[in-house]
């Protein structure tokens, strides 16, 4: 085979694998929320075309009630998708080259793009972390939060949402920082990638209520899918303690940052106490 054609084939194959992982991850994310509306999608591309699932998803995420067409014809599907797109635009969500007929026709690339945009807006955009700068993107803030959560753990490198997560150690360290009794970090350093990933995803699901968006085979690959890992890590972020209601006129963001700083200090103290209790 011609070398150039071989390289092109390899690139195409990697893109297909990435899209399959994204489809699986995003489908699980959508179903996690649609459960509240007693709905379920089996095929992301087909089931959002849309009689009602896309609108129901936005209603669950926003708490708003949206109008919808109840007919079964293509015209009604197009109208429902347009209602969803218009709602997102109303909230200044950027939709790049996504039209109602793209979704109604089940376009894979643009359907994935739409769901990713929804994940960014409803799950990631409001992330707050102590030490963040005003010009940080949501992705950068989530990465900073991840770095803070694994700070002090031996051999942990966290500067991306791809290869750094391949061995499963970062996932386990985040859970351990949150609840040290759930994870034996000495065991984590000895286990295989698959064992670490399976442990983290299982513990997060059973003990923290985090939907299992990923499986070990999705992450233990040369180049894990960035968007899928971001979606999962942001779910871990959501499972961590949240601040109480705003009091005494303190702004919500300021209170969130104060609480997180307090939480980090207390967690470190508890780890220190646990270690010294075992030693003595």
Q: 168-197: per-residue pLDDT in tens?
A: 999 999 999 999 999 999 999 999 999 999
Domain with CATH 1.10.418.10 in the chain: 14-124, 138-279
Question: What does the pLDDT average to over 37-47?
Answer: 96
Q: 237-266: per-residue pLDDT in tens?
A: 999 875 433 333 344 445 455 555 655 665
State the pLDDT at residue 253.
46
CA gap 169, 246 in Å, rounded: 35
* Domain 138-279 sits in CATH 3.40.47.10: no
CA gap 213, 32 in Å, rounded: 9
Structural tokens at position 14? 């990697």
Q: Is 37 exposed, middle or buried (0-12, 13-18, 19+ CB in 10 A)?
A: middle
* Domain 14-124 sits in CATH 1.10.418.10: yes
CA gap 3, 58 in Å, rounded: 46
Structural tokens at position 77? 């599907």
Question: What does the pLDDT average to over 126-132?
Answer: 88
Phi-psi region of 155 (alpha: psi -120 to 50; beta: other; left: phi over 0): left
The model carries a pTM of 0.82
């Amino acid at each position: 085979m011609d070398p150039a054609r071989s390289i092109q084939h390899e690139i195409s194959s990697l893109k297909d694998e990435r899209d399959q992982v994204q489809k699986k991850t995003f489908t699980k994310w959508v179903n996690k929320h649609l459960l509240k509306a007693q709905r379920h999608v089996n095929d992301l591309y087909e089931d959002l075309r849309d009689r009602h699932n896309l609108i129901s998803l936005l209603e669950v995420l926003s708490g708003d009630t949206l109008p919808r067409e109840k007919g079964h014809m293509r015209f009604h599907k197009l109208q429902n998708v347009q209602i969803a797109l218009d709602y997102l635009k109303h909230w200044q969500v950027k939709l790049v080259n996504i039209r109602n007929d793209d979704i109604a026709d089940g376009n894979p690339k643009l359907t994935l793009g739409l769901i990713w945009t929804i994940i960014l807006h409803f799950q990631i955009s409001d992330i707050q972390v102590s030490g963040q700068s005003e010009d940080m993107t949501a992705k950068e803030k989530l990465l900073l939060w991840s770095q803070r959560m694994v700070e002090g753990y031996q051999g942990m490198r966290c500067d991306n949402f791809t290869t750094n997560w391949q061995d499963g150690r970062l996932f386990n360290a985040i859970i351990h920082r949150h609840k040290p009794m759930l994870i034996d970090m000495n065991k984590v350093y000895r286990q295989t990638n698959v064992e670490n990933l399976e442990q983290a995803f299982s513990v997060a699901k059973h003990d923290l209520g985090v939907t299992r968006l990923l499986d070990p085979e999705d992450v233990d690959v040369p180049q894990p899918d960035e968007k899928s890992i971001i979606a999962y890590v942001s779910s871990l972020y959501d499972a961590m303690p949240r601040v109480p209601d705003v009091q005494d006129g303190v702004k919500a963001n300021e209170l969130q940052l104060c609480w997180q700083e307090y939480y980090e200090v207390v967690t470190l103290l508890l780890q220190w106490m646990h270690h010294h209790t075992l030693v003595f």
